Amino acid sequence: MKSTGTECLAWALIPNHFHLLLRAGNSGLPNFMRRLLTGYAITFNKRHNRVGHLFQNRYKSIVCEEDPYLLELVRYIHLNQLRARIVKSLAELDRYPWSGHAVIIGNQQLEGEQTEEILAYFGKRKKTAMSKYRQFVADGIGQGRRSDLIGGGLRRSRGNTIAREQVESFDERVLGSSEFVEYLRKEKNMHERLSSGLSLERVAESFGLTADSLRRSGRMPQVVEARGMVCYFAVRELGKSGTEVGSVLNMKRSGVCLAARRGEKIVEEKPEIRERVLGC
C-alpha cells in the first residue's frame, strides 16, 4: 500500500468475494488492484500447488463522495458478515479476524488500515471513540441491505420516485450528489482523451512514427518505446486488460505486460513524456 499511496478504510472478506473501501493514491486504483490480485493469486497458487487464474471476473469499482458517505460505507462494509450470517452477533463480529471492524476496536491488527482516521470522527480519546464507533455500527444492524450505498448518484440515493428527466447527473459507477458526478466527469476528460486515442495516431506522432508502425513488431527503439507507452497508460492507468490492448497492437497478453513495464520505467525516468504523449 505504501508504494502506491493507497489507503484502506474498511474491508470484509466473504467466502467467495471481498469488499474494500479504498482511497486511491497517485498511481491509481487499477495499478493497486492489479498488484493486490496478482500477488494474492501467486501466493495462493504456491501454497496450494496449483496454476492458472484465481479470480473469475474483473473487480467492480464505485467512486464514492467522501464527506456524506465515508462512515456509512465503513459501517455497511463491516456489517457484511453479519448480514451474510457468517457471524451471529455483533459480539462475534467484534473478534472476527476477516473484517476491518475488529481492527478498529482494537481486537485485531492489520498494518495499513486507517483506524485512527475513522476513530477521529467519534472523539479525541481512543477508548471513547471506539465505544461510540461500535454503537454506530450496532445502530446500522437493523438497516439490512441498502441499495442506496451501491452506486447510482441521485436516482438511486433518492429512490425511484424522481422522474428520469429530473436527474441532472447520474452514473451507475458513482455514489454521490449530482455536483460530485459533474466534478468527476470534468476530471475524467483527461482519461477520455487518453482512451480515445491512446489514439495510436497521437502516440505515434509524438514519437515521429506512423500508427501502422505501432501495430507491427519491430526492434527500432522509437517503436519499442512508443508501444511501451501505449501499454503502460492503457493497462496501468486506464485499467484495460492485456488482451484488449494486445488486440489493438497485435501483441500477446504476455507481451503487453512486458511492454507496460518498459513504459513504466520510461515514465519514471522521463516524467515529461506524459505531456508529450497525452497532451495533458
Digits of tens for pLDDT over the chain (280 positions)?
566 778 899 999 998 889 999 887 766 787 788 888 888 889 989 999 998 888 777 777 888 877 778 899 999 999 999 999 999 999 999 999 999 999 999 999 998 899 999 999 999 899 999 999 999 999 999 887 877 676 554 444 444 333 333 434 445 667 777 777 776 666 555 445 444 445 677 778 778 888 778 877 777 888 888 888 888 888 877 777 787 788 778 888 888 888 888 888 888 887 777 666 665 4
> How many CB atoms are closer than 10 A to CB 236?
19
How many H-runs (helices) and E-runs (strands) does the chain carry? 16, 4
3-state helix, strand, coil in the chain (%, to 5): 55, 10, 35
Domain with CATH 1.10.1750.10 in the chain: 190-278
pLDDT for 25 equals 73
CA 89 to chain centre: 30
Torsion angle of alpha carbons 70, 72, 77, 79, nearest 10°?
150
Classified by CATH at the fold level, domain 7-143 comes out as: Alpha-Beta Plaits (3.30.70)
In angstroms, the CA 55 to CA 148 distance is 27
pLDDT for 125 equals 93
Amino acid at 197: G
- On whether the pTM is more than 0.85, the answer is no
pLDDT for 186 equals 61
- For domain 190-278, which CATH number applies: 3.30.200.20, 3.40.50.300, 1.10.3720.10, 1.10.1750.10? 1.10.1750.10
Domain with CATH 3.30.70 in the chain: 7-143
Q: Name, in order, each residue with C-beta under 8 angstroms of 273's C-beta and a sequence gap of 6 or more.
A: 229, 266, 267
C-alpha cell at 131: 465505544
